A and B are shown apart, each in its own frame.
Chain A
């Protein structure tokens, strides 16, 4: 990664690797799968409730469902619980929409002490910014590809 290592540094890398505990990747994947799945089940339940009791259709229920998950995630972030769950759940809490809400809420809370404009406003997208930038850009690229395919194919 980054700089080229000298032979001495390469030796040390091998030396230290043997003594460092590894990330339990398999265990983390299982946990992420379970927790991520549970969050989706929760979303499904909210969706069902919105359709059954509030007159939403399957399509329109998506908005209040994600909004509810976001509110829960932001609340748990503010109460200082979300990071504890995330240490256990890993990608399980990071990937769903709750993870995105957590990045914004945590950055906003963290920089509250620097004021609303420069602190909260300036730092809220510190972590989630790249997600938006590359999300929008990849959507653009995919759209271009789709247009080209449609042009030749259609």
Chain B
């Protein structure tokens, strides 16, 4: 059901049957390591390229999710996935392995929630038993495509972020009782003229603020309705900007509720400048950490607003600013 301009409420009972998360060694050393299903001890993952390593993680996460649900991969009716690489190759190749009907999406780091809300929208109106969604990113493959070679010795500014190596997948069904997708807000592009790819937090914060504000307007609720409200990968710079933007609009975000996946995934001693980023950032924190906490009954209602920077390496060199987007999905127990 449409609510307001950009939001949807799901009444059909769309449940998260199972999720799975795979991460690299660096994430495995972070504070959330206990929440991940598979932690690789090498960023190559026994492959001969970083791109193949990323695909492997997405495949592993997808197959583990299917296995956890106790179904066969042939039963998957639809796989919706996205990643950061050109022509979304990680998703395409993982979909080739899974062999199910597939829709590939590109929405940069907001892909985790975009795929989830698309799945919920499709499931809401149709009699589809199982939809699998997922995203992946790899630090080295993302750096290679968007910035410099991994071993290149450039000094990153304090606003830079560290792309998460990992993959997170989520299986939706109506035939279950558990964490439920209750509403979603589709974001608009917000471009505030930030051009610096080492300052993604500032580039995406206005989009996150816009989607959050719209979500509460559309649904007629206040932030304290949720136990956790997390943005995807604003990092500590973008998080502060987003909070202050909302405050200016008259929406106070309580500190104990409002957080950011990019701030949670790494510890203070990991030297990642402003925090984590990448498609996998919001995916592994939501599908690992948050859902584990929900299953342990520590929290009941969460809102995840995954943020994406929709520029390309070319558009940046052509001096285009970075268009930001943010998609929100609410999950309740």
Chain A interface (Cβ < 8 Å from any Cβ of B): 1-3, 5-6, 8-10, 12-13, 15-16, 19-24, 28, 77-78, 80, 82-83, 85-87, 89-91, 93-94, 99, 102-103, 105-107, 109-111, 113, 126-127
Contacts and interface: CB of A to CB of B under 8 A. Distances in A.
B153 A85 contact: yes
B20 interface: no
B149 A19 contact: no
B164 to A, nearest CB: 18
Contact of B153 (A9, A28, A82): A82
A20 B144 contact: no
A89 B155 CA distance: 8
Nearest to B318: A2
Contact of A127 (B48, B149, B157, B191): B149
B151 interface: yes
B232 interface: no
A20 B156 CA distance: 14
B157 to A, nearest CB: 5
A28 B155 contact: yes
Contacts of A16: 192, 194, 202, 205, 241
Given A103-B152, A106-B152, A127-B148, 10 more contacts: A5-B193, A9-B191, A21-B159, A83-B150, A85-B153, A86-B153, A89-B155, A94-B155, A105-B151, A109-B151
Q: Which 4 A-B pairs have the closest CB atoms?
A: A86-B153, A2-B319, A9-B193, A113-B49
B150 A106 contact: yes
Chain B interface main SS type: loop
B227 interface: no
B195 A15 contact: no
B244 interface: yes
B51 interface: yes
B237 interface: yes
B53 to A, nearest CB: 10
A86 B237 contact: no
29 contacts: A2-B320, A3-B193, A3-B320, A3-B321, A12-B192, A13-B193, A16-B202, A16-B205, A16-B241, A19-B237, A19-B241, A20-B158, A20-B202, A21-B274, A22-B158, A23-B158, A77-B153, A80-B151, A82-B151, A82-B153, A83-B150, A83-B154, A93-B153, A106-B153, A110-B149, A110-B151, A113-B48, A113-B49, A113-B50
Contacts of A82: 151, 153
A77 to B, nearest CB: 5
A77 B151 contact: yes
B153 A107 contact: no
Nearest to A99: B153
